[in-house]
Structure 1
C-alpha cells in the first residue's frame, strides 16, 4: 500500500478494515497512528459502522451483561447474531475497573456503554468502549449541599448534529412521605469537557432510576409519571436539551410503571407491558408489545402478545429486547436466557446462560473507536 496517498484517500481505504486491524495499523507509522486516532477518522469509522450495521446481509452483535450465580460475578460478553436459533459467543470481556460491584447500567449508544455508581457518597459515572477495551471516568458531579434526601436518574445519548456524547443527571429532592419533588434539577456532561453544567428546562416528570431507557431518533426515552400520576414516555432531546413527552395507549396510562418498558429495534419504537394479572388471576409470563408511528399517539398498535403458559421452563419473567431477525430475547422463570419466536411461538434456550433476572442487559453492539484518544480515566 502506498504510504504517500492523501490522508482523505487513505482514510476511505482504512475505514473498510475491521477494528482489530485498525488497532494494529497504528503501529505502521506515526502518520498512520495520527490518522487513525484523529477525531475526523473516528467519526468516519463510526458512520461507516452504523451504515454497515443497518445492512440486511450483515450479522449483528449483542453485548450481554448479567450477574452469573455460578461464577458469582457480573459477566460481559459479545455475541454474534447470525439469525440462527442461538447466539454465538464472540468474546468475553473484563471490565477495566476491578471494583465495580456498584456500577449499574444506564444506557448505550453507538458502541459506548454508560454505567453509574449509585452509591450516594461517590456518584461516579463511567463510559466504556468494549471494542477497544477502554473506560474513562467522567468528572464527579457536584454534591447537593442541603438537608433533603436526593434521588438521581441518569441518561445517555448522542448529539449527532454536534457529534457530542452527553450524560444527563436528574436530581430529585425527596419531601414528605418520601415523595419526589418535581421539578428536578437537571445537569449535563459532554464527553471531552471537564465539568457538569446545569440546564434550565421544564421537566414536570418523575422518572424512576430503575426505568428502562432507549435512545432513539436523537432522544433519550424513559417511562415516567406526570404530577397527576399518569404514566407517560419522557423524552430528552439531546441536541436541543429540552424535555417533551409522548402519550401511551389510554388503557396503559394508569398501569404500574414497573410493568412497562421501552425499547427500539431498527426504525421502530416499542412499548412493552408485563401484565401478571391477565384475566383476574396471576399469570407470570404474559407480555404485550406495542409499536407506534413515532410521535403519533393514535398510531399505537398492539403488535402481538407473548402468552407462554405451559407451566414449564418456558414461562417468561422479563423481556430484554430484539434480535436482528425479530426474535425476542427474554429471561424465563428458571433465570435462563431464551429466544422467543413470535411467529412459531417457540422458546429456545441460549446456551444455558443463567443469571439474576434483574441484572440482564442485552445491548446492540457496534464496533467503534470512540475514546481511543481520550487521555483521562482508565485504560484496559
Structure 2
C-alpha cells in the first residue's frame, strides 16, 4: 500500500470505521499526517455517517450522585429491537457545586461547560468515541477582570473554514444590576486554539441566561433573547450567530410567543429551527412545538403539535427518530412519546429530572490530536470502544495473535522498523503482521 498515490489512500481510509482509521494512523508518518488532516476528518464524517442517526447519546445521574458521577451512554436502536447500550467513561470532575452543562454536540464532539469562573478548565471539547479532549484556555472576560457577569455559550461548525468554534457571549452587570448591552463576545477556533475578542459587531440584544439553551441550525447558533429597546425588555426573539460570517442577527418569533421569553427553549427538529413553549394552566402543563419550515423566513413559523404533560410526564428534552419526543417523567424516568398515537416507550433509564441530556450521535475522528484519556496503565487504546464484546487494546494484539503492533509514545514508529510487515484484516480491524 506504500506505493499507492496519496489521493487513493485518502479515498480508501475515508471509508474505514473510526476505530480502524485511528489504529492505522499509527503505521507511519504519512498515514498519521493524512488521517489527522482536518480535510480528511470532514471527508470521513461525510462518507461514513448516515443522514438519520439512530444512535442516541444520553447523560443522566441520580440525585445523590449530583456532585460525583455523571453517566454517559450510547444507545443504538438500529442493531437490535431493544437497542444496544455502550457505557462511556466520563473522566472529568466538576469544580462547581452542581454538574457539567452540555452546551451542544456536533459530529461526535461534546462541548461541556463547568460554569465556574475560577476553573481554568471551564470549557471542554470532548470526543468520547476516541477518548480525546481539549480544555479551552481561560477567556478574557472573567469575574476577576470584569466583576459580576453572566454568559452563554454556543458550539458549532464553520463550513467555510472547516473549523469547529465556540462562541462566548458575556453580559457584564451594570450598577443597577442589569446586564450591560452590547455584551462582550469571544470566539474560540479549534484550528487556532485561542479566543478572539470582537472589537465590533456584538448583538444589540440580551439573551436569557437562566437555563439557556442553544441550537445549531443552518450553520448558525441560536438562543432565546430579548430586545432591550422595548419597555421592560418584554419582546422575545431568537438571537443567532453565523459561525462562518461571524455575524449576529435577530430572528422574529410568532406574535403569540414574543412575551413568553422565560417559557421558551430553542431546539432543532430534524434539520429545522424549532422552539418549544411551556404553557402552564391551572394544574396542567403542556409543551407547544413550533418549527420554522423555511429557514430565515419568519412567516414560515408553524405550530407542529402540542404535548400534554399529563400521565406523569414532566418535561420535554427534544426529538427522536420517526418524530417521537423524548420526555422525562415526574419520577425521573426517560421515555419516548409518540404525539400522534399517545404511545409511551421506556428508554430504560432513571435519574434526577434535571440530569437528562439526549441528542443524536455519530462517531468521528474530530479532536484526534487532542489530549488522550488513559483509563489505566494497561488500557492504552487506539480508538477505544468495543469490537465483538472485547475492548481493543493495542498491547493485546501482540499477546494473542503474535502480531507486531505499534505502541510508541508519539503514536507511530520510524519507517525502518516497519520493514517486512504487511497489513491484514482481522475482525474488521487492520493490524500489522510479519511476512
Q: Could you tell me the TM-score, scaled by structure 2's length?
A: 0.77
> Is contact 1:339–1:348 with CA below 8 Å preserved after alignment?
yes
Q: 1:146, 1:232 → 2: CA distance?
A: 30
In the alignment, which residue of structure 2 is the partner of 1:19? 18
**Root-mean-square deviation over aligned CA pairs:** 2.3
In the alignment, which residue of structure 1 is the partner of 2:295? 294
What SS class does the counterpart of residue 298 from structure 1 fall into?
helix
What SS class does the counterpart of residue 182 from structure 1 fall into?
coil
**1:176 CA drift (Å):** 4.3
User: Is 1:265 equivalent to 2:262 in the alignment?
Assistant: no
**1:90 CA drift (Å):** 3.1
Change in CA separation of 1:248 and 1:85 when aligned onto 2, cut-off 3 Å: farther
Aligned match for 1:115, one of 112, 117, 127: 112
Q: 1:147, 1:294 → 2: CA distance?
A: 37
Please give the residue correspondences for 1:293-332 in structure 2 after superposition, counting only pairs within 5 Å.
293-309=294-310, 314-332=311-329
What SS class does the counterpart of residue 288 from structure 1 fall into?
strand
Aligned match for 1:90, one of 81, 85, 88: 85
> Is contact 1:96–1:378 with CA below 8 Å preserved after alignment?
no
Q: 2:297, 2:265 → 1: CA distance?
A: 18
Please give the residue correspondences for 1:226-305 in structure 2 after superposition, counting only pairs within 5 Å.
226-227=227-228, 228=230, 229=233, 230-255=235-260, 257-277=261-281, 281-284=282-285, 286-292=286-292, 293-305=294-306
Deviations 1:136-159 (A, max 9, x none): 101111244556411121111111
**1:121 CA drift (Å):** 1.6
User: Highest Rg: 1 or 2?
Assistant: 2
Change in CA separation of 1:198 and 1:27 when aligned onto 2, cut-off 3 Å: closer
> Is contact 2:188–2:195 with CA below 8 Å preserved after alignment?
yes
Structure having the larger proportion of residues in strand:
1
User: Is 1:60 equivalent to 2:57 in the alignment?
Assistant: no
Please give the residue correspondences for 1:99-178 in structure 2 after superposition, counting only pairs within 5 Å.
99=94, 102-122=99-119, 124-144=122-142, 148-178=147-177
> Is contact 1:205–1:226 with CA below 8 Å preserved after alignment?
yes
> Is contact 2:315–2:328 with CA below 8 Å preserved after alignment?
yes
Change in CA separation of 1:147 and 1:325 when aligned onto 2, cut-off 3 Å: closer
> Is contact 1:77–1:89 with CA below 8 Å preserved after alignment?
no
Aligned match for 1:350, one of 339, 347, 351: 347
> Is contact 2:284–2:309 with CA below 8 Å preserved after alignment?
no
Change in CA separation of 1:378 and 1:29 when aligned onto 2, cut-off 3 Å: closer
Please give the residue correspondences for 1:327-338 in structure 2 after superposition, counting only pairs within 5 Å.
327-338=324-335
**1:82 CA drift (Å):** 2.9
**1:365 CA drift (Å):** 0.7
Q: Could you tell me the TM-score, scaled by structure 1's length?
A: 0.88
> Is contact 1:96–1:133 with CA below 8 Å preserved after alignment?
no
In the alignment, which residue of structure 2 is the partner of 1:223? 224
**1:107 CA drift (Å):** 1.8
Change in CA separation of 1:178 and 1:53 when aligned onto 2, cut-off 3 Å: farther
> Is contact 2:208–2:262 with CA below 8 Å preserved after alignment?
no
In the alignment, which residue of structure 1 is the partner of 2:31? 32
> Is contact 1:96–1:134 with CA below 8 Å preserved after alignment?
no
**1:222 CA drift (Å):** 0.8
> Is contact 2:332–2:353 with CA below 8 Å preserved after alignment?
yes
What SS class does the counterpart of residue 358 from structure 2 fall into?
strand
> Is contact 1:42–1:369 with CA below 8 Å preserved after alignment?
yes
**Count of aligned pairs:** 361
